[in-house]
Amino acid sequence: MIRKLAERGALAALALSLSTIAGWAADENDYPTDARVDYVFGCMAANGQTRESMQRCSCSLDQLAAILPYDKYVQASTVLSMRQGIGNRANEFKSTKIFDDKVADLRRAQAEAEIRCYRG
């Protein structure tokens, strides 16, 4: 009886560990494939169309995804896109602290990803 309880406890602990790992992996990999491809293509356009560039750009995106959830990435990317415009609407995105903070979070995550993937 005690042995069965110990086995059940071990199985429960294993199941909990696996669900925790799966949840962590899902959080880290919440960037959809099309967003990943778009990021890597853009990165390669800026850094060269080589296999090494592809590997570094892929690494950079993996690191970025580990640091910044996809919804925050989308928010910051939207702010950056809106800042490219002209007129009052674009000015609102250029001069609002909350938008500055979103972009700053993205820039910090990109800098960390660059350190991890492009140096060393």
pTM over 0.95: no
Give the model confidence (pLDDT) of 24-46 as tens digits. Answer: 444 556 899 999 999 999 999 99
pLDDT tens by residue, 60-99: 999 999 999 999 999 999 988 888 877 777 666 677 788 8
Task: Outline where the chain has alpha helix (H).
Answer: 2-28, 33-47, 51-67, 70-83, 88-94, 97-118
Residue 36 amino acid letter: R
Kindly tell me if the per-residue pLDDT of 9 is higher than 50: no
pLDDT for position 106: 95
Distance CA 6, CA 35 (A): 45
Instruction: Give the pLDDT score at 116.
Output: 93
